[in-house]
Structure 1
Amino acid sequence: MLGASIAGLFSAHVLARSHSRVVLVDRDEVVGAKRPRRGVPQGHHVHGLLASGQLMAEDLVPGLTQQMLDAGVPMGDLGGQLRWSFNGRRLASTRTGLVVVGGDRAVLEGHVRSRVEHLPNTEFRQATDIVALVHDEAHGRVTGVRVQPRGGGSEEVLSADLVVDATGRGSRTPVWLESMGYGRVSSDSVKIGLTYTTRRFRLRNDAFGNDVSVNPVATPRHPRGAFLTTLGGDRCGVSLTGVLGETPPSDLAGFLEYTRSLPVPDVYEALRDAEPLGDAISFRFPASVRRRYERLRRLPTGLAVVGDALCTFNPVYGQGMTMAALQARVLRDQIGDGTEFSPRSYFRAASRALEPAWSIAVGGDLAFPEVQGRRTPLIRFVNAYLDRLRHAAHDDPRLAEAFLRVIGLVDAPERLLAPGVALRVLRSTYGGSGERAGARTGVSRAG
């Protein structure tokens, strides 16, 4: 297992059921890490495990939800305890029965890692660089990986029946495959020019009540957004978002002024008297990228790719950890039938599984007129329809639930076009409240 972040940990837990030994290689010191790691530059920012992600994580690692709950990890109902706002109006509050896990990335990762650590057949190789894949003379099978201690030392070959790349956006597997004669891995990308700036605070007043998160979502009309999440007790984390090159300020005065410019007052009112804890951290995300391994004519046996190394999403949608769990389930299904693992079968199945989340992210980004990309008539229609649906969902709990089940990746995007939903949308009063260009969360079938 190359990489011991969320995707690597979920996949390692799966592999440990069918393999006698699972080795996780990571450049960082990961065991016992309680703070954001250097190898996870987005680790400082507010994270969430979407509703479907929570269900899949529990399926992969039974008892994980209760373990996190007992440790005080914030959790809340997707529609009843998360405040979703679009263009200054909150979606109707509605109990969905679906749980979202949120808060500190390092804490969430630590809980999953602790379960992997306690498996009898797992081993962590920390502070170790991954040098290259090892393969047979015919380049037809990956047989292991060459590694080296960070800071120098002798290289070592770790032999393996299956190598799984979970090294993130900087994955070198495309380069390695091309050098082995498999050609260039094509990719799809959508440039959004996102910047996160995150701070932690100690609150002097109760900003949440029974809620766990306040989420004014960026839209073309209001391209500034925020995620205010409880970290337990009187502490909170706040990630401000700016798209298309806009950078939320890192100085305290500028940070607070940015919150005051949001279309809802909740975040500013929570922070204006709060005590800052540490400095602000910014993270830049240029583009969503989907690597299309399934389109290669040939693939070597003994190789799989998961997590951001396979597909990295605009992080404002909160899909990354959920997709890591989903891909681990795909991997489990591919190795669980007793036959030899087929990379072609795996990558095709993973691509199908990724499609709904990718369509949501791409559709949402293309709602911003400045974002470059192909806008088919279907994409334009669906984004216009979603404007009206979100507008109606401010007053209609059933529409709000339908919408949230889709962005929580529980239901397929097509469910929003079901006759019962569409009729409620069409019956609603809609005055074109400035959402014509489409809000940040969109649905399409783009790829």
Structure 2
Amino acid sequence: MQHVVVLGGSIAGMAAARALRSLGKRVTVVEPDGLAATAARDGVPQSGQLHALLDMGRTQAERWFPGLSKDLVAEGAVLGSGSEIQLFSRGRRKVSVPGNELIGVSRGLLEEHIRRRTLLDDGVSVRAGKACGLVVRDMRVAAVRVRAADSDEVHLVPADAVVDATGRSSRLASWLREEGWPQPPVDRMRIDLGYATARFRRGHELPDVRVAHQLPAAASGTGAQPDTGAMAAVEGDQWMAVIAAYAGMRPTRDPADFRRRMKEMDAGPFGVVADRCELIGEVETYGMAHSLRRRWWEVERLPGGLFVVGDAVASFNPVYGQGMTSALLHASCLAAYLRRGADLRAPAHAYFHHVRVVVNAAWELSTLSDLAQPHVTGPYPRGYPLARKMAEWMEEASTTDAWVNERFLDVVNMRRRPADLQTPRFWWRVAMARARR
């Protein structure tokens, strides 16, 4: 049985482990925090923030962890659909889309279920320690250097293949350089984002709302940056609410300021929760300086048996909720690559080209919106002014036309690629919706 070492016990790492087990591979997960079934991981400082599992992410999660949604709901997670999901854009509520679903759950509960399911498999073992290098022999990965969790001693863990799921701070490129291999080109877009999450006691104040989202918007003519926000009903009869803003407008840990900003949003549910609900615990903040994309598919010379998943490939602006869904899709890319009969120990160029489709679709959607912010200085893609104007038309039309909004949400939820919004029929409907307005 071939042995694969997965670096990182994140959702990306767990999903990759499940994909590998579906193909009969033996898996060792290397994680600095260890992986107790219910323990939080110290290496995830943003774990207390509200996270989104987009619809395609839930579909892929059900593929690798059948019955996951049902189990989460049984423990208090909340599944919302149709009009229970309220989206607001520029002060107007967008028309609801029947069949659109989102699950409200904390990252802690979601990770706990995914981790527990993965570690119940006898073919998956865990090694507590921190990966600190690779060993490449005969043009392929042969082992991982692992520093023990309780000492400075470094051990070699032999492997037929390695999957890097260590997140946006991945050191893989540096390890390859030390072994004489090229590094991937890297794209960075400065976003200077700050966001804050608070939990509130949930009662009967919003019986018909499960999820509300104030969509990102460009700065106003006065230069003021409107807040982006989302809130979801989650386990424990709670609301989790997040506020995000850029540069000097980033939210703080001040509870009074958090409530004030919720009330000032042009989205009614936020004000209701701010006025009527008890705050639980403290406001947690986190920041992200830039979005990041490592273009592994452009590296012509790769050691065999090397794969990268999750934020180690690309880390997007979190206000679009693409991270966990992308990670789950990367696991499906890995399974598809190996199911086609690819040699696990060969350079995985075809895998990275498969992942490129997922990464670039998410990158295109998020960065196009980010570039509308005055402090974001590019790089601007060719034809950006027209693309930005068309995006504004589409956003306007999706507010009132359910057909347009359904296809827009298909792209937002990563069910379709952005290119699917460029058909003549779609833009005819956009034009008709704008004419009616």
Superposition TM-score, scaled by structure 2 size: 0.92
Q: Which residue matches 1:321? A: 324
The aligned amino acid for 1:312 is: S
Deviation, structure 1 residue 431: 11
After TM superposition, list the pairs within 5 Å mapping 1:170-319 onto structure 2.
170-207=169-206, 209-220=207-218, 221=220, 222-232=225-235, 234-319=237-322
CA distance in 2, matches of 1:401, 1:264: 20
Q: Is the 8 A contact 2:194 2:250 kept in 1?
A: yes
Q: Which residue matches 1:365? A: 370
Identity, % of aligned positions = 31
Deviation, structure 1 residue 72: 2.8
Q: Which residue matches 1:385? A: 390
Deviation, structure 1 residue 148: 2.2
Q: Which residue matches 1:40? A: 44
Deviation, structure 1 residue 338: 3.0
Deviation, structure 1 residue 400: 1.6
Deviation, structure 1 residue 93: 1.3
CA distance in 1, matches of 2:403, 2:331: 32
1:132 aligns with 2:133: yes
Q: Which blocks of at least 5 consecutive residues in structure 1 are unaligned?
A: 433-447
- Secondary structure of 1:130's counterpart equals strand
- The answer to which of 42-51 and 369-378 deviates more is 369-378
Q: Which residue matches 1:423? A: 428
CA RMSD of aligned residues (A): 2.0
Q: Which residue matches 1:7? A: 12
CA distance in 2, matches of 1:233, 1:186: 44
Superposed CA deviations along residues 4-28 of structure 1, whole A, max 9, x for unmatched, are 1100000000111234421111111
The aligned amino acid for 1:112 is: I
Runs of 4+ displaced beyond 4 Å: none
Aligned length: 425
Q: Is the 8 A contact 2:34 2:126 kept in 1?
A: no
Q: Is the 8 A contact 2:205 2:276 kept in 1?
A: no
- Secondary structure of 1:83's counterpart equals strand
1:63/1:115 CA distance change after superposition, 3 Å? same
Q: Which residue matches 1:440? A: none
CA distance in 1, matches of 2:343, 2:381: 40
Superposition TM-score, scaled by structure 1 size: 0.90
Q: Is the 8 A contact 2:75 2:235 kept in 1?
A: no
Q: Is the 8 A contact 2:76 2:237 kept in 1?
A: no
After TM superposition, list the pairs within 5 Å mapping 1:68-217 onto structure 2.
68-77=72-81, 79-95=82-98, 97-126=99-128, 128-136=129-137, 140-152=139-151, 154-207=153-206, 209-217=207-215
1:141/1:404 CA distance change after superposition, 3 Å? same
Deviation, structure 1 residue 204: 5.0
Q: Which blocks of at least 5 consecutive residues in structure 2 are unaligned?
A: 1-5
- The answer to which of 413-422 and 356-365 deviates more is 413-422
Deviation, structure 1 residue 376: 3.9
Q: Which residue matches 1:435? A: none
Q: Is the 8 A contact 1:204 1:273 kept in 2?
A: no
- The answer to which of 243-252 and 162-171 deviates more is 243-252
- The answer to which of 285-294 and 145-154 deviates more is 145-154
Q: Is the 8 A contact 1:391 1:430 kept in 2?
A: no
CA distance in 2, matches of 1:29, 1:245: 37
Superposed CA deviations along residues 413-442 of structure 1, whole A, max 9, x for unmatched, are 12223222211211234699xxxxxxxxxx
CA distance in 1, matches of 2:227, 2:342: 50
The aligned amino acid for 1:57 is: A
Deviation, structure 1 residue 339: 3.2
1:155/1:39 CA distance change after superposition, 3 Å? same
The aligned amino acid for 2:202 is: L
CA distance in 1, matches of 2:73, 2:202: 22
Superposed CA deviations along residues 192-236 of structure 1, whole A, max 9, x for unmatched, are 1111111111135423x2332111122113531111111135311
Deviation, structure 1 residue 395: 2.0
The aligned amino acid for 1:425 is: V
CA distance in 2, matches of 1:212, 1:29: 34
Deviation, structure 1 residue 299: 0.5
The aligned amino acid for 2:117 is: R
The aligned amino acid for 1:131 is: C
1:56 aligns with 2:54: no
CA distance in 2, matches of 1:24, 1:99: 32
CA distance in 1, matches of 2:210, 2:64: 25
Q: Which residue matches 2:28? A: 23
Deviation, structure 1 residue 124: 1.6
CA distance in 1, matches of 2:329, 2:417: 14
The aligned amino acid for 1:355 is: N
- Secondary structure of 2:253's counterpart equals coil
